[in-house]
Amino acid sequence: MIKRSIITALALLLIYHFALPHLSRACYWIPGQQRANYLNAQEYVHQPIQDLNVIVGSSMANELSQEILGPQFSKLTFPAGGAFTGLEIIHQTGKRPPVILIEANTLLKEVDEPMLADVLSPWRRQLREISPIFREANRPSNFQIGLLDGLAGKLRKPQPAPAGEDNSTPPNKPADPKLLGAMMDVHRGHLKQAPDPEILAAKIKRLGDLIDEFTLAGSRCVLFELPIHSSLAGLPQPLAIRNAMAARFPADRYHWVRFDPNQTYPTSDGIHLTRPVADEVTRKLLADSRP
């Protein structure tokens, strides 16, 4: 039984390998934030084009429009993560994008080590090069859920984001007042805690090292802090990060894109911009990041 099971399993893998190119991509569905993160990272790692610009950040930068950024930009923006995960991917793959847009808001977020281990592990990378069946995008369950979607004709509500984008949350439309209030309380509770100065200093140092390395290799690093709800922007955590960033990366030596602090930026939950505002911010970011 054991031998037969293993041989049949290998046969199933082979069948899937040969069937995959013939399965319609329309039937595939990428559910969930975690999978979208892995898919984004894998697509970037296995992307043959070496000179793609990159935007790194968290779910906040993930709201920026891929359509407006255009195909020359790849988004290494990870909900529940931060800019360092994207920066480490660039660093460890040895790719040197012409432009790297770096979101500064979530600097304190740790690198997603399990994801890096998954997408950068040499044997896994090789396996994914040999057969695309081992990539996140081609999981059989994506096909199964997509098929369900097609059969039911209902699953596509709300409309999914393009492959690779988080199509679950956060909602990029204004939330109802009760939810907004609860979300604001959660963010306020989190952001009112000043960061440990040692941890912040270590993060700033690492960011400086990476920016110096990329700049030496010919990349142009552009820093930006995305606007958040005005009642949250002045809390100890964002303030500490802002001050530390301004001290280490002064505007006369580093390229910054600034957003008017006096302007009100509508958000869905206090920290994520609503769709039209995110589009507007994307346009400004694109225009101001040009040399």
Partner 1 sequence: MLFTSLPFVILVMIAFAIYYLPMVRSWQITVLTVASFLFYSWEDPILVFLLIASILINVVTSYQIAIGKKSAQRFWALMGVVLNLALLFFFKYGPLVAQSLFGGDHGSIGHFFMSIPLPIGISFFTFQGISLVIEVYRSKQPDDPFNYPEMVPASFSEHLKNTMLFKAFFPSLVAGPIIKAHEFYPQIVPKSLAAIDWSVVFRSLVVGYFLKMVVADNLKDSTFWIDYPSFLNQSRLTLVVLLFGYSMQIFADFAGYSLIAIGLAALFGYNLPQNFNYPYLSRSFTEFWQRWHISLSTWLREYLYIPLGGNRKGSVRTYVNLFIVMFLGGLWHGAAWSYAVWGSFHGLALAAERFGKSWIRFPKHPLISIIQGCIVFSFVTIAWLLFKLPKFEHVLGYLNAMARSTAPNNYWMVGHVLTYSAPVALYYGWHLLKHRFPKVHHGEFIIFAILIAAIVLDSGTTGAFIYFQF
Residues that bind partner 1 (CB under 8 A): 1-2, 4-9, 11-13, 16, 29, 31-35, 38, 114-115, 118, 133-134, 139-141, 144-145, 148-149, 152, 154-158, 160, 167-169, 171, 175, 178-179, 182-183, 185-186
Nearer to partner 1, 112 or 225 (CB): 112
23: left (phi over 0), alpha (psi -120 to 50) or beta: beta
Torsion of CA 190, 193, 194, 195, to 10 degrees: -60
The length of the chain, given as a count of residues: 291
Q: 6 or 251: whose CB is closer to partner 1? A: 6
DSSP 8-class letter at 90: H
Residue number with CB closer to partner 1 (154 or 290): 154
Nearest approach in angstroms of CB 84 to partner 1 is: 18
Q: How far is the CB of 244 from partner 1 (least distance, A)?
A: 22
Placement of tokens 């899937």 in the chain: 16
Residue among 134 and 254 whose Cβ is closer to partner 1: 134
Closest approach, Cβ 126 to partner 1, in A, equals 15
What are the two backbone dihedrals, phi and then psi, of residue 238, each rounded to the nearest 5 degrees?
-60, -35
Pick 1 or 216: Cβ nearer partner 1: 1
Question: How far from chain centre, in Å, is Cα 121?
Answer: 20
- Residue 164, phi-psi category: left (phi > 0), alpha (psi -120 to 50), beta (remainder): left
- How many whole angstroms separate alpha carbon 210 and alpha carbon 196? 21
Q: Write phi, then psi, for 282 (nearest 5 degrees).
A: -60, -45
Smaller CB separation from partner 1, 18 or 250: 18
Q: Give me the least distance between CB of 277 and partner 1, in Å please.
A: 19
Closer CB to partner 1, residue 145 or residue 246? 145
CB of 129 to partner 1, least distance (A): 16
Q: What is the DSSP string of 206-267?
A: HHHHHHHHHHHTT-EEEEE-----HHHHTSHHHHHHHHHHHHHS-TTTSEEE---TTS---B
- Smallest gap from Cβ 193 to partner 1, in A, equals 12
**Shortest distance in whole angstroms from residue 72 CB to partner 1:** 29
